[in-house]
Amino acid sequence: MSSKNPTDGPARGPDQEPRQGFSRRTFIEGVGIGAGAVGAIGTAQPARADTHEPVGPDPVAITLNINGKSHELKVEPRVTLIDALRNRLDLTGAKKVCDRATCGACTVMVDGDPVYSCTMLAIEAQGRRIETIEGISTEDSMHPVQAQFVEHDAQQCGFCTPGLVMAGKAIVDSNPQPTMADVESGLSGNICRCGTYVGVRKAVYDAARA
Amino acid sequence: MATKYDWPAADDRSLIGKRHNRVDGPAKARGAAKYSYDRNLDGMLYAKLVTSTVPHGRIVGIDTSRAEKAPGYKGHVNILNVGDEVQWAGAEILAICADTEEHVRDAAAAVTVLYESMPHWVKDEDVEKAGEANRVKPAKDDTKGPNLEEAWKSADATVEGYYGLAVITHCCLEPHGQVVDWTGDEITVYASTQAVARIPGDLATGLSRDEKIGTVAADSVHVITPYMGGGFGSKFNIDTWGIACAKLSKMTGKPVKLMLDRDEELMVAGGRPSDFGNIKVGAKKDGTLVAYESETWSTGGIAGRGSPPVPYVYNNEERLAQKARHLNVSTNIGPARAWRAPNHPQAAVLTMCPMEDLAAKLDMNPVDFFKKNADLTARPEVYRYEIDKCAEMIGWADKWHKRGDSGSGPVKRGLGMSLHTWGGRPHDSTCEVRIQPDGGVSVNMASQDLGVGTYTTLSVVAAETLGLQIPDIKVNIGSSKLPISGASGGSTTVGGTTASTRRATVNALEELKTVVAEALETEADDLVAKDGKVFSKSDSSKSLTWQEACRKLGNRTITGQGKQPDRNGGKLNDSGVGGVQMADVSVDVETGIVSINKIAAVQDVGLVICLEQCESQVYGSLIQGVAWALYEESIYDQTTGKMLNPDMEFYKLPGAGDIGELEVHMVQNKYDDRGVIGIGEPPAISPGAAISNAVANAIGVRVPTLPLTPDKVLAALANA
């Protein structure tokens, strides 16, 4: 998305854009385009960014499109996407760890881009296509990145794993032949404490080629 | 003497020692594994701590009146009271709960606590200043071995230097905490813990201290922890927040979730003691080490804590003159908790770094120096073999150069090494293995999988014993209602749990054989379970599939019991390992930035059960080692007495691109007869010393203390 904007400057073409996580630019842009995207799926929203009318602090009704399903919920405008997913919708795959856009454990895809869901408000995510770790596999088969995580023992305690899988998916979605340097760069917004990076790097590299 | 419980001979092992996918891998990769933090129970309330904002003081007032009127407020319990002393910032004062996570944040922020300020001290490195502040206490003064003065006289070369490493914190990604559901007489606790079987007693004792609650029976507590998100030694107890969470659940009649916030996790729920010291080592011209003398000091909070076992590894008391004096520095920082291999990483830095400095002074290649002195260690043959193997893996012979002899460019490359040791004895464990008439097999015990592979190792042991495959085994752990097994700490789990499982499975199989022997009209001794069948050794026509054999049980389920220890249970485990690691680094002398090219690790661990998960433990240790060698430090400010970086922006951990190439070699088929020995601690010890030594080799001077941050590298170069 933002990487396609020529005003972003030449140093950040699609290939160089860090694929993982939140950036100030996407955050601001997310607020700006919310209304248009909401309009596109035709739901009436009280928390419209284009009306410039303050919402909250009381809960507002919102609709989130998650893993292809529409979820209606009422949240205070300050509720982050991670808290909406985990506390309201029991989608607990994404983890809350640093809660300030550093560690990547909360990574989900929003409109196909990886986003730190601890640093996006739930109301901003309206009208956007949210994909969580729960949505990328079926009962019978895992996403190639997930399957390769298992093959390469790319997990220990596993708490960072969902975020790393989503960051890995973002890499392979955008680049079918990533080099190991591409993989390392794409994973650089995620932190593992047990020390699983050796397996994680191999898993993402192989998943792209699977 | 051989027993039926002994591990199968090498030729008879089809699963033990091989590579296997982690049994819990798919659940974790799918995000389906439910951790304590993920539990959302009906009507659940959210709780939060209110913690001390001062590093030292007496509480003179706690005002919750505004909080009680906050939207969604449901209750609070005091952990400390007016008149109590707090001894570090972040100390738990009360726990408060509300209907939502947002509301509880507001309610907690509305609590006012007033303190009478008291003098604080948070700095540990400058021991003289700490002494002036009356914060230093002698902890150890040991003299061993030959006469020290004579030894110094006999030394041809000596090195005196200053070395150390800072306080670090565990930073578990799943913070400490739990969900407690107290309903009637049943208390269910979803705890993020390393000690499933210990928590019921711990919680019941803590609750029973409260007169308003009265006596709580340990057996009314059920701990459920199928998955936990990292502990590293910091999660053995229920802690004040667990007891407070249970009280809130009783008070409100609702399940309550209390997980620490990230800043609390870093300030009060983790902490590895620092260690600093002046070290003097001496050797003869030929490299023979003759004397080691240290004066070290450390802090791990108000109690001091941390006393490194120095000299480390090279500590033969008959041949090496040694004197070790240690001081404890009492600081107003969060209390220390066990960290993988307590005191050993510090001891490695305080021993292996001066030893490499001495080798450099003697103009010796460290590989030769460490090997030459191997007789001063408890296992000379192991270390000699492992040094050679590790040197081969890192390309030492081709890449090593004399200290500082690394070319004229701004990026200097260097190699360094370190050795370590750890016990890893098995903990006590009881196991019940069930064989069902439908062929199902389960392994049951109140153990836990911290991410080390317990589900997988127990599956492998049971499947190997029964001639089945890993998916045929259901491992039930993570519940305190199962047979009791020890806490996971000190590399004790794999030895204890595999032994009890082996014995329980052998016993269960014997019982099955008795039933099957009758059906096949043969003797139980004549039967073998292998390749999914139970068959007669003497008559190949007498054979049943596993399912057919189990159907002979009718409606009866077999339960096999196994224990660790068991005097008659065969030789299944041991303690005491070595291990060698070597690092290859590059240092930019213009920026001071250190980067890892490669780290090689050779590790003996007796009999390997699951090769891949064993390797993962070593890889993880190396990566954690890169973290505390280059990045990690809990930074405290003396003026405010607070930790300045209780977050993940400024408490630095490496990413996937910061660790270089890692190569691990598990020593197999050499020490298998010793049985199983724990792997969690040994490889976590050496990385810091090896990396520090590599940096010294690269830039020609010692950067005295870890983490080896750019400012310290540049300062060391400037001071050279």
- Listed by number, the residues of chain B in 636-675 with a beta carbon closer than 8 Å to a beta carbon of chain A are 647-649, 653-657, 659, 662
pLDDT tens over chain A, length 210 residues: 333 333 333 333 333 444 444 443 444 333 333 333 333 333 444 444 555 688 888 999 999 999 999 999 999 999 999 999 999 999 999 999 999 999 999 999 999 999 999 999 999 999 999 999 999 999 999 999 999 999 999 999 999 999 999 999 999 999 999 999 999 999 999 999 999 999 999 999 999 998
Query: Inter-chain contact B452–A161, Cβ cutoff 8 Å?
Result: no
Please report the pLDDT score of residue B720 as a whole number.
Answer: 86
Please report the pLDDT score of residue B300 as a whole number.
Answer: 95
Q: pLDDT digits over B68-113, tens only?
A: 999 999 999 999 999 999 999 999 999 999 999 999 999 999 999 9
What are the residues facing B666 on neighbouring strands? B603
Distance of CA B592 to the CA centre of its chain: 31
> Is A108 within 8 Å of A94 (Cβ atoms)?
yes
Predicted confidence (pLDDT) at residue B650 exceeds the cutoff of 70: yes
Query: Inter-chain contact A83–B24, Cβ cutoff 8 Å?
Result: no
> Is B695 within 8 Å of B510 (Cβ atoms)?
no
Provide the number of CB pairs (under 8 Å) joining chain A to chain B: 177
DSSP B50-69: EE-SSSSEEEEEEE-HHHHT
- Listed by number, the residues of chain B in 9-28 with a beta carbon closer than 8 Å to a beta carbon of chain A are 21-22, 24-28
Predicted confidence (pLDDT) at residue B67 exceeds the cutoff of 90: yes
Q: Is A93 on the interface with B (CB under 8 A)?
A: yes
Average pLDDT along chain B: 97
Beta strands in A46-92 (DSSP E): 60-66, 69-75
Q: pLDDT digits over B531-554, tens only?
A: 999 999 999 999 999 999 999 999
Report the percent of chain B where pLDDT is more than 70: 100
Overall average pLDDT of the B703-716 stretch = 98
Predicted confidence (pLDDT) at residue B59 exceeds the cutoff of 90: yes
Each domain of chain B, given as residue ranges in start order, spans: 10-33+426-564, 36-118+171-268, 334-423+575-719
Residue from the list A83, A93, A160 with its beta carbon closest to the beta carbon of B173: A160
- Listed by number, the residues of chain A in 30-89 with a beta carbon closer than 8 Å to a beta carbon of chain B are 76, 78-79, 83, 86-87
Please report the pLDDT score of residue A52 as a whole number.
Answer: 67
Numbered ranges of CATH 1.10.150.120 in chain A: 144-209
Please report the pLDDT score of residue A54 as a whole number.
Answer: 85
Predicted confidence (pLDDT) at residue B143 exceeds the cutoff of 90: yes
At the second CATH level, the architecture of A144-209 is Orthogonal Bundle (1.10)
Please report the pLDDT score of residue B170 as a whole number.
Answer: 98
Nearest CA among A55, A58, A87, A57 for reference residue A71: A87
Please report the pLDDT score of residue A51 as a whole number.
Answer: 56
Predicted confidence (pLDDT) at residue B30 exceeds the cutoff of 60: yes
Question: Dihedrals φ, ψ of B87, to 5°?
Answer: -120, 5
Residue range B10-33+426-564 forms a domain whose CATH class is alpha beta
Q: How far is B327 from chain A (nearest CA, A)?
A: 31
Please report the pLDDT score of residue B252 as a whole number.
Answer: 98
Query: Inter-chain contact B657–A187, Cβ cutoff 8 Å?
Result: yes
CATH topology of domain B36-118+171-268: Aldehyde Oxidoreductase; domain 3 (3.90.1170)
Report whether CATH 3.40.50.920 matches the domain B334-423+575-719: no
Overall average pLDDT of the B426-448 stretch = 98
> Is B562 within 8 Å of B504 (Cβ atoms)?
yes
Decide if B10-33+426-564 and B334-423+575-719 have a common fold.
yes
What secondary structure, in 3-state letters, does A81-147 show? Answer: HHHHHHHHCCCCCCCCCCCCCCCCCCEEEECCEEEEHHHCEHHHHCCCEEECHHHCCCCCCCCHHHH
Please report the pLDDT score of residue A49 as a whole number.
Answer: 52
3-state secondary structure (DSSP) of residue B472 = helix
Overall average pLDDT of the B412-438 stretch = 98
Q: pLDDT digits over B506-529, tens only?
A: 999 999 999 999 999 999 999 999
> Is B613 within 8 Å of B453 (Cβ atoms)?
yes
Predicted confidence (pLDDT) at residue B633 exceeds the cutoff of 80: yes
> Is B259 within 8 Å of B131 (Cβ atoms)?
no
**Measured distance CA(B456)–CA(B412) in Å, rounded:** 43
Q: pLDDT digits over B176-198, tens only?
A: 999 999 999 999 999 999 999 99
- Please give the ipTM for the structure prediction: 0.97
Q: Is A183 on the interface with B (CB under 8 A)?
A: yes
Closest Cα in chain B to A86: B38
3-class SS shares of chain B: helix, strand, coil, % to 5: 30, 25, 45
What secondary structure, in 3-state letters, does B204-250 show? Answer: HHHHHCCCCCCCCCHHHEEEECCCCCCCCCCCCCCHHHHHHHHHHHH
For residue A57, whether the previous peptide bond is cis, meaning omega lies within 30 degrees of 0, is yes
In this structure, what DSSP letter does residue B130 have? H
> What CATH number does the domain located at A2-135 have?
3.10.20.30
Those residues whose C-beta lies under 8 Å from the C-beta of residue B296, and which sit 6 or more positions away, are B275, B276, B277, B278, B279, B308, B310, B324, B325, B326, B327, B350
Q: pLDDT digits over B272-330, tens only?
A: 999 999 999 999 999 999 999 999 999 999 998 889 999 999 999 999 999 999 999 99
Please report the pLDDT score of residue A36 as a whole number.
Answer: 32
Please report the pLDDT score of residue A9 as a whole number.
Answer: 34
**Measured distance CA(B685)–CA(B689) in Å, rounded:** 8
Count of alpha carbons within 13 Å of A26, Cβ hemisphere only?
Answer: 25
